């Protein structure tokens, strides 16, 4: 049976009244990630907006066990949980490490790469709000070209994002996927699939951030969807090397109706200073990436 809103479990692991901004897609994505794991999980979280969601001592908004860990150490913390559980003979729990793009692309890349190279048995989820939002929106390795942030305040960022999912795929992982908070069922299915696989599984989740990207919080879902419709974000999974477009990205590919990336950019205040040249550069980048995905998606024809 296909997962839909009607048959999806009602059990919640994220409690109402948490500290995240109204309309935060991280909160939405996390709800569905934990549903997919049915609470049978130990989570490790570094400094990030997600730490804020988890709450302030002695109260947490989350009903699964969790270990907060210093910013750079998420991958290693996961390894420690796995090693500890193994030493104690507990085999029923999934270890989930979940960090922002700063904690993944930048300061945490070493520990993550180490854990992935060791093929440690856990799911790593990077939720990507394309900046250091917890500290007030500074540039990260995932902040796009031209975007204004606290540390690219006037000129916008001068460099492109790095493709972290490709970097993780290069580790030879059994499962690598992308997801988007605007497609919670696709996210849910991917986490469920990842749960059943052994080894290091990596999922990148695109999570629009209303204050950081400067759009009204009511538009979170629409902005996430625009990212998919324009190819800014692409939904796919790579299972033991086999590439597949999923959900809305598969449908855009089939219909061939990719929309101009400008439609995604103009909705956000962070891109207000983009030059035409930068828009063209971003479009070229999206086109190249989209084409690479189409070339790999052998199941489309």
Partner 1 sequence: MGTRECKHICGESSQGIGEAGRTGEWRSARPVIDHDKCTPARQNKPACFLCWLYCPDAVISKTIPVQINLEYCKGCEICAQVCPTHAITMVNEEEFSS
Partner 2 sequence: MKRSSVLNVADRNASVQILDGNHAAAEGAKLSRVQVVAAYPITPQSPVTETLSEFVEEGNLNAEYVAVESEHSALAVCTSASIVGARTFTATSSHGLAYMHEMLHWVAGTRLPVVLACVNRAIGAPWNVLNDQQDSISQRDTGWIQIYARNNQEILDSVIQAYKIAEAVYVPVMVCYDGYILSHTEMPVDIPSQEDVDRFLPPYKPHTTLDPAKPRNYNLVTLANPRVNAEGVLCHGYMEIRYLLQEALQNSRETIARVGQEFGELFGRSYAKMFWEDRLDDADIVIVAMGSLAMEATVAADMLREEGHKAGVLGLRVFRPFPKSDLVKALKKSRLIVVFDKNISYGLEGATCSEIKSALYGSGANAVVRNFIVGLGGRDVKARELADAVKKSLSSMKEGVLNNEYPEWICEI
Ligand X SMILES: Cc1ncc(C[n+]2csc(CCOP(=O)(O)OP(=O)(O)O)c2C)c(N)n1
User: What residue ranges bind ligand X (CB under 6 A)?
Assistant: 47-50, 71-72, 99-103, 129, 131-135, 140
In whole angstroms, give the CA distance from residue 185 to residue 163.
24
DSSP state of 271: G
Burial class (CB in 10 A: 0-12, 13-18, 19+), 176: buried
Q: C-beta of 164: minimal distance to ligand SF4 in Å?
A: 17
Question: Residues 1, 5, 6, 87: which binds partner 2 (CB under 8 A)?
Answer: 87
In the complex with ligand X, which residue's Cβ is closer, 32 or 139?
Answer: 139
Residue 75 is a binding residue for ligand SF4 (CB under 6 A): no
User: Coil, helix or strand for 132?
Assistant: strand
Q: C-beta of 161: minimal distance to ligand X in Å?
A: 12
Residue 14 is a binding residue for ligand SF4 (CB under 6 A): no
Burial class (CB in 10 A: 0-12, 13-18, 19+), 5: exposed
Angle between helix axes 184-195 and 25-36 (nearest 10 degrees) is 40
User: Coil, helix or strand for 235?
Assistant: coil
Q: C-beta of 142: minimal distance to ligand SF4 in Å?
A: 13
Q: C-beta of 26: minimal distance to ligand X in Å?
A: 6
Residue 72 is a binding residue for ligand SF4 (CB under 6 A): no
> Are the CB atoms for 179 and 127 separated by under 8 Å?
no
197's contact among ligand X, partner 1, partner 2, none, with CB below 5 to 8 A by partner kind, is none
Q: Which of residues 193-222 bind ligand SF4 (CB under 6 A)?
A: 209-212
In whole angstroms, give the CA distance from residue 194 to residue 51.
23
**Site of interaction with partner 1 (CB under 8 A):** 5-6, 8, 10, 12, 14-20, 22-25, 27-28, 31, 55-63, 184-185, 217-222
């Amino acid at each position: 049976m296909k997962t839909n809103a009607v048959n999806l479990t009602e059990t919640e692991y994220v409690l109402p009244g948490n500290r995240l901004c109204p309309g935060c897609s991280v909160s939405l994505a996390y709800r569905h990630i934990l549903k997919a794991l049915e609470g049978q999980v130990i989570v490790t979280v570094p400094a990030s907006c997600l730490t804020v969601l988890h709450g302030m001592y002695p109260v947490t908004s989350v009903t699964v066990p969790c270990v907060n860990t210093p910013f750079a150490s998420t991958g290693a913390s996961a390894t420690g949980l796995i090693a500890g559980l193994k030493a104690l003979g507990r085999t029923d729990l999934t270890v989930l490490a979940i960090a922002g793009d700063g904690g993944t692309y930048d300061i945490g890349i070493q520990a993550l790469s180490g854990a992935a190279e060791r093929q440690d048995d856990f799911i790593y989820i990077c939720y990507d709000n394309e900046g250091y939002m917890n500290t007030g929106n500074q540039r990260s390795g995932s902040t796009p070209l031209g975007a204004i942030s606290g540390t690219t305040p006037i000129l916008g960022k001068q460099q492109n994002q790095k493709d972290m999912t490709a970097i993780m795929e290069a580790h030879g992982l059994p499962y690598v996927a992308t997801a988007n908070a605007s497609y919670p069922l696709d996210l849910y299915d991917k986490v469920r699939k990842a749960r059943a696989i052994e080894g290091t599984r990596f999922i990148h989740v695109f999570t629009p951030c209303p204050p950081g990207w400067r759009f009204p919080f009511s538009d979170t879902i629409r902005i996430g969807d625009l990212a998919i419709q324009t190819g800014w974000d692409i939904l796919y999974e790579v299972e033991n090397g086999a590439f597949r477009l999923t959900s809305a990205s598969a449908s855009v590919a089939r219909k061939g109706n990719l929309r101009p990336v400008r439609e995604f950019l103009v909705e956000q205040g962070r891109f207000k200073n983009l030059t035409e040249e930068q828009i063209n550069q971003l479009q070229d980048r999206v086109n190249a990436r989209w084409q690479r995905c189409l070339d790999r998606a052998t199941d489309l024809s």
